[in-house]
Structures are given as structure tokens and as C-alpha cells.
């Protein structure tokens, strides 16, 4: 099978698959090719970049897969360690995060490490008001299935 980029005499571009280069030529000469947009029978091959695949043997592929899997495991372990640290060293305030963070910033509540949830507009308002907050790269355990 071969894929060609095609164009009609009215400038419409499209692609199609053919059994072979000869099959394309036979269909074109017989007038069996039509533009997918306007139906014109004046269809020619368009300029297209060749698809060149990298030849990799099974050992290279397995090595690349193993490296990717090892990196994914490292990231997963780092996130788990971060979650453990955050949960051990801060108070979960749930959906009251924006209210609690703002109260601490204004001096209406004692400062302490907290984590929780905020709606996007609440988080944006906190940032715009100079409240030091940052998103965590994990969901609260109550939100994880």
C-alpha cells in the first residue's frame, strides 16, 4: 500500500491510499479518481514529504522501553514521596483552601502549612492578590478512585 497526497485542478488537497504506484496510474488514466471535495476528475499527485521510519532492532526497542518504564517508575516514586511529605507536614483543609490561605495572608488566622482544593477562579484571585500558593502535582486522596 502507498499513500499519496493529491490535489485537483481547483486546488483542493486530500490524501488516498493505493495498492501500488501502478494502481494509481491505472485509476487516473481510467478517470476513476475524483476530488473528495468537489468531485473533479482532474486529480494529480501533490508534493509530499517522504515518510522515513527509523530502523530499530528489537534489542534497541526493548532498551528504550525499559528506560522509559524506569523513568516513569522514578517519577511515580518521587510523586508518592512528595505526597507523603505534604500530608505529614501540613493540614488538609479541603475546599476551604482559598479562605484559609487568604485569612493567613491577611493575618486573620495563624500561619501554618496547609493543602487543599481551590476552584480555578479562587486560585487565580489568590495569586493576583499576592497570596503565596502553588498547585500540587497530585489529587487529594479523597478525589482518587
Mean pLDDT per 10-residue section of the chain, whose length is 145 residues? 90 91 91 87 83 70 89 92 94 95 96 94 95 88 60
Whether the full predicted model's pTM is greater than 0.85, yes or no, is: no
pLDDT score, position 31:
86
**44 closest CA partner among 77, 12, 20:** 12
Residue 48 · residue 5 · CB < 8 Å: yes
The torsion defined by the Cα of 22, 26, 29 and 35, in degrees rounded to 10, comes to -90
Residues 6 or more apart whose Cβ sits within 8 Å of residue 145: none
d(CA 4, CA 9): 16
Q: How many helices (H) and strands (E) does the chain have?
A: 4, 5
Amino acid at each position: 500500500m502507498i499513500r499519496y497526497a493529491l490535489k485537483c485542478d481547483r486546488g483542493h488537497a486530500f490524501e488516498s491510499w493505493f495498492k501500488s504506484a501502478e494502481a494509481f496510474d491505472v485509476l487516473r488514466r481510467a478517470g476513476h479518481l475524483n476530488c473528495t471535495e468537489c468531485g473533479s476528475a482532474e486529480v494529480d499527485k501533490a508534493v509530499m514529504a517522504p515518510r522515513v521510519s527509523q530502523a530499530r532492532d528489537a534489542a534497541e526497542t526493548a532498551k528504550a522501553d525499559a528506560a522509559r518504564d524506569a523513568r516513569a517508575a522514578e517519577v511515580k516514586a518521587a510523586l508518592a514521596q512528595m505526597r507523603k511529605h505534604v500530608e505529614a507536614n501540613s493540614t488538609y483543609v479541603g475546599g476551604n483552601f482559598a479562605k484559609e490561605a487568604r485569612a493567613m495572608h491577611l493575618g486573620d488566622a495563624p500561619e501554618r502549612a496547609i493543602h487543599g482544593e481551590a476552584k480555578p477562579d479562587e486560585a487565580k484571585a489568590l495569586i493576583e492578590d499576592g497570596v503565596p500558593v502553588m498547585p500540587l502535582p497530585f489529587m487529594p486522596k479523597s478525589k482518587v478512585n
